[in-house]
Structure 1
Amino acid sequence: MKLQQLLQRYPFDDLMPVVADMFPGTGKYRTALQLGYNILMGMKPVASKKNIRYRIMPDPNSDASFMGAEDAAFDTTWEVCLGKEVVKEKGVDLTDIELAANCLVNICLIGRHPKAFDEAYRMLIKE
């Protein structure tokens, strides 16, 4: 499923509690993330042959592993991110709403955002 389709399945008010569960302490960024979501919902996706691939990844700081996607998958414009296919590899047990929430946070933090998101982005990274 394309990222735009995945995000469109869930209103922001359904995504935010999942974001807060996945990333403790992010509740204080609700306003910035909601603005990002609203901007994304108004954008036209650009077709991309690249994927946002969720897989089991080793934690570089320990012997543990986690489920996630490479940051590089989000290091492009928001329109291109929206046009990418979201793929789960074998062993990844994230639900669709968890994928959508994780993608939203990653796009807002890593993606090349539009100028309309500049102030909200500064709020997200100020810590």
Structure 2
Amino acid sequence: MKLQQLFFAYDFDELMPIINEMFPGTSKYREPLKKAYDIMTTLKPVASKKSIHYKIMDAPGGNGEQYMGANDVDFRGTWEVSLGKDVTRERGVDLSDTDILANCLVNLCFLGTYPKEFEKAHQELLKP
């Protein structure tokens, strides 16, 4: 499934509780995250042969812990290109589509190249 299709399948209000669960305390960033969501639902995706691939990864530090996620590089580039990427998951990754979309939204806010209209909201996300 293309990332843009996930954005059209779920409302922001379905994502925010998941984002707050993944990243406790992010509820105070609701408005900038909503702005990002709103912008992403209006952008025209650019076809890409690359994907956003969720897999089981080793946690930093080498203590044997693992988590489910995608590599940061999967989110680098313009939002339009990311919206045109396929979202895939490796066997054993039991994240729901809403979990993945919530994670993609947050990662794109910090790792992707966002449009100029998101600059003010991006600055709000960077405030402690």
Q: Same fold (TM over 0.5)?
A: yes
**1:73 maps to 2:78:** no
Structure 1 moving runs of 4+ over 6 Å: none
Q: Give the whole-Å Cα distance in 2 for the aligned partners of 1:42 and 1:60.
A: 36
Deviations 1:50-98 (A, max 9, x none): 0000000000123201000001010100000000000000110000110
After TM superposition, the score normalised by the length of structure 1 is: 0.97
Q: Give the whole-Å Cα distance in 1 for the aligned partners of 2:7 and 2:42.
A: 12
Partner residue in 2 for 1:125: 126
**1:22 maps to 2:22:** yes
Partner residue in 2 for 1:48: 48
What is the SS of the residue equivalent to 1:33? helix
Indicate the percent of aligned positions where both proteins have the same amino acid. Answer: 54
What is the SS of the residue equivalent to 1:14? helix
Q: Give the whole-Å Cα distance in 2 for the aligned partners of 1:125 and 1:71.
A: 18
After TM superposition, the score normalised by the length of structure 2 is: 0.96
Partner residue in 1 for 2:113: 112
The CA RMSD over aligned residues, in Å, is 0.8
What amino acid maps onto 2:82 in structure 1?
C
- Structure 2, unaligned runs of 5 or more: none
The number of aligned residues is 127
